[in-house]
Amino acid sequence: MSNETIIFATLAVPAFGAVMIWLTGSAPNLRESITLITGVVLFALIASLAPAVMAGERPAAELITMMPGLAIAFRVEPLGLLFGLVASFLWIVTSIYSIGYMRAHHEVNQTRFYVFFAIAILSTIGVAFAANMLTLFIFYEVLSLSTFPLVTHSGTPEAKRAGRLYMGILIGASIGFLLLAIIWTWTITGTLDFTRGGILEGKASNTAAAILLALYVFGIGKTAMMPFHRWLPAAMVAPTPVSALLHAVAVVKVGVFTVLKVTLYIFGPGYLSRIGASEWLQYVAAATILIASLVAMTKDNLKARLAYSTISQLSYIVLGAMLANNLGIIGGGMHIAAHAFGKITLFFCAGAIMVASGKTKVSQMDGLGRVMPFTMAAFFIAALSVIGLPPLGGMWSKWYLALGALKAGNLFLVGVLMFSSLLNIAYLMPIPIRGFFGKRQADGDPENKTATKIREAPLPCLIAIGITALGGILLFFWPGPVYDLMRLAVQP
């Protein structure tokens, strides 16, 4: 099979899987088997492109030419390959988790959930492999549309309000800012192709480039940069597998991935560094990191706390891009992988706790670690990764982000990174501490039988939690493949 055929297959497989899932909806076991098989095949196809990309090839395929110089086309480069591998692998794991969660929680419309999940992954791969901003924009918008039914899955008034806010901010930002930036870029340069070193240098004034960068960064609303962040905590009304999809696999990662692509291939880090257009955005990202962390500390609802944590962690990646040097961008790319495994584990654990115990608040976690030791231990491991402590993979991404800030000569941003890690400790570590050392209600009230009935979540949930927690550990001891892809991505 040629690389061109493989690229088209990575889009066709989840599309075909979505159709088959819909047709087999009345047979849950078959439906879920198709979901898992589709995920495994997709990951295998993307992984098969890795040797060629690591050897310096850039497999490409063109679907249709819309007008001279504008085509829906795909090209697999190192950053896109990294994102595609992370997203497709975590789709498999999330599907395993979903089987246990959706059945145990007796969710309605499960077939619709799996169908739109497959379409969302298709859109994510389209973004990952896009050869130009036009292709990326099309799949970016399809992702917003395909995740709307997932956010509003429960059909409650609260879910519908969250869905309206979700679509209002994401579509509003992409049409109002991002599309304007894309059209302006085309007008200035005559191309939207992702080009090593960028396409704007020598064709746009420094002022125009600075305005364009702001339009791109704020137009990519999926980064949840403040003040365009409210959609993300609102979307927490969705089932936990959807929250995992939003925070780790697809939506927000598409946002920060797009910022990295724009930095590398539309502007070029060297150009941004020379004109200083990204410097003020470094401070916007730093403010988002700190403010979101402080807000997270005030949230008693576990998913809300994790949502604001995600807002903070995404801005680490935006900060890495805006540093406009190789070390910062490498750190940002590595944080895509590290945060994906860490945050998806945290959300998996939150969902497992809710399914097994009905508890959703941090203040209710006391003693849960003694009846759900596997889940709470996995939460502890993932928390260490998000904080950036060894032996978890999050340490390496924060290490390179700090090196990037030092290379940029900005000690203030180094301080922000260090202080934010302390804030991470403040809002994450009380949860496992309460879980393992807090006093359960049943311990003080022998007549209360409810707490004694709490057990671990269903086995599929535990399998998924174990895989992603282990992934965070492996990223510490074997960061080489992720680093190598990012090193190739930033090579001049």
CA pair distance 351, 348, nearest whole angstrom? 5
Note the pLDDT of residue 236: 79
Mean pLDDT, the chain, whole residue set: 92
Read off the pLDDT of each residue in 363-380 and give the average, rounded to a whole number. 95
412 belongs to a structural domain: yes
Give 228-242 pLDDT, tens digit per residue.
Answer: 889 988 887 877 787
14 belongs to a structural domain: no
Q: Which of 313, 442, 306 is nearest to 361 (CA)?
A: 306
Note the pLDDT of residue 450: 45
User: For 20-29, 105-114, 244-253, 399-408, which range has the lowest pLDDT when averaged over its residues?
Assistant: 244-253
User: For 130-144, 150-164, 279-293, which range has the lowest pLDDT when averaged over its residues?
Assistant: 150-164
b/e string for 306-331 if b means 16 or more Cβ within 10 A? bbbbbbbbbbbbbbbbbbbbbbbbbb
CA pair distance 427, 424, nearest whole angstrom? 6
338 belongs to a structural domain: yes
Q: 86 vs 39, 197, 416, 466, CA distance in Å? A: 12, 25, 27, 16
Which residues lie closer than 8 Å to 12 by C-beta, 6 or more apart? none
- Beta strands 60-67; 70-75: pairing state: antiparallel
CA pair distance 491, 371, nearest whole angstrom? 50
pTM for the structure as a whole: 0.94
The pLDDT-based confidence of 445 (bands split at 50, 70, 90) is very low
User: For 22-26, 149-153, 209-213, 406-410, which range has the lowest pLDDT when averaged over its residues?
Assistant: 149-153
User: For 246-250, 354-358, 372-376, which range has the lowest pLDDT when averaged over its residues?
Assistant: 246-250
Tell whether the model's pLDDT for residue 443 goes beyond 80: no
Note the pLDDT of residue 442: 54
The pLDDT-based confidence of 105 (bands split at 50, 70, 90) is confident
Note the pLDDT of residue 349: 95
Residue 350 φ then ψ, to 5°:
-60, -40
Tell whether the model's pLDDT for residue 180 goes beyond 70: yes
Note the pLDDT of residue 251: 86
The pLDDT-based confidence of 441 (bands split at 50, 70, 90) is low
Sign of the alpha-carbon dihedral angle for 372, 458, 41, 62: negative
Q: Which of 184, 297, 159 is nearest to 239 (CA)?
A: 159
Note the pLDDT of residue 448: 45
Give 190-229 pLDDT, tens digit per residue.
Answer: 999 999 999 999 899 999 999 999 999 999 999 989 988 8
What crossing angle do the helices spanning 157-173 and 133-151 adopt, rounded to 10°?
Answer: 170
447 belongs to a structural domain: yes
Tell whether the model's pLDDT for residue 452 goes beyond 70: no
Note the pLDDT of residue 6: 97
239 belongs to a structural domain: no
User: For 88-102, 317-331, 378-392, which range has the lowest pLDDT when averaged over its residues?
Assistant: 88-102
Give 306-357 pLDDT, tens digit per residue.
Answer: 999 999 999 999 999 999 999 999 999 999 999 999 999 999 999 999 988 8
Number of independent structural domains in the chain: 1
150 belongs to a structural domain: no
Read off the pLDDT of each residue in 108-134 and give the average, rounded to a whole number. 93
129 belongs to a structural domain: no
CA pair distance 253, 469, nearest whole angstrom? 19
392 belongs to a structural domain: yes
Q: Which domain holds residue 422?
A: 278-492
